[in-house]
Amino acid sequence: MTGANGMLGGRVAAAARGRGHDVFPTDLPGLDLTDAQAVFDHIGELGPDAVIHCAAYTDVDGAESDEALALRVNAEAAGHVAAAAGRNGAFVVAVSTDYVFAGDGDRPYTESDVPSPQGAYGRTKLRGERAVQEVGTPCAIARTAWLFGAGGKNFVDTMLALAARHDEVRVVADQVGCPTWTGFLAPALVELAERRLEGIHHLAGGGRCSWHELAAEVFRQAGSDCVAVPVTSDEFPRPAPRPAWSVLGTERAAGPRLPPWQEHVTAHLKERQAS
């Protein structure tokens, strides 16, 4: 698997080991995925049955100012991984994002909806999806959204840190999506690889909420007296556009399903407390 040092990648490695698989995690500086020959050599030496590709350039604002770098990581490297995996008969699971959509919908985006990314990050991730699909390797594209979990900076932990220092926190209320805990997503990605479920899959927390509603639920479950104050996106301008509507749904009759987003918050808070 790739991106093993990241918030999601580390969780995927643990989930795969927990299901009895041998895992060969990779990340920088050990393997530069933009180096095609290095990728082919590495995957050829390992001979895996599947590759779960979690590595990505995830700095949304950074991608807006350096789209060329984001493209090399999110698209070209993804193509190298898929091609090398295919040469060795391995199935590929490539992680993608809700940002491939325009964000102007009013119903959940499903797998057959036409992508129309509005920012550089979404454009490069969509190019990555197509790079994986075009090499002809058996693959699954797993789109997800609003990730949080142990081992990386995330919205939920940021809110908890702010709540420890402030009586109230201003939180954007006009962006809606599907909060997703890595602890639920990771085994679903492993399942895609185990079952070799080809095609596009939407895997995110069930239901929907705004960032403000997510913060309020985090404070409620954590027993915090901090108040989440709703504000508009215009009050927090960012270099890159954020989708106002990032709700993912699925039209697939079979495949992994993730629980409602509130359960994702509960599980993450329990894990934090235990650790």
Instruction: Evaluate whether 114 touches 104 at the Cβ level (below 8 Å).
Output: no
Phi, psi of 6 (to 5 degrees): -85, 175
Q: Of residues 57, 99, 109, 121, which has the active-site annotation?
A: 121
SS3 for 107? coil
Exposed, middle or buried by CB within 10 Å (0-12, 13-18, 19+), for 36? Answer: middle
Instruction: Evaluate whether 248 touches 202 at the Cβ level (below 8 Å).
Output: yes
Separation of alpha carbons 95 and 201, rounded Å: 10
Here the tokens at position 119 are 């920012």
SS3 for 230? strand
Contacts 24+ apart (CB under 8 A), 151-155: 151/6, 151/7, 151/10, 151/11, 151/182, 152/6, 152/7, 152/8, 153/7, 154/7, 155/179, 155/211, 155/214, 155/215
Q: Is 121 labeled as catalytic in the residue annotation?
A: yes
SS3 for 253? coil
Which positions are catalytic?
Answer: 121
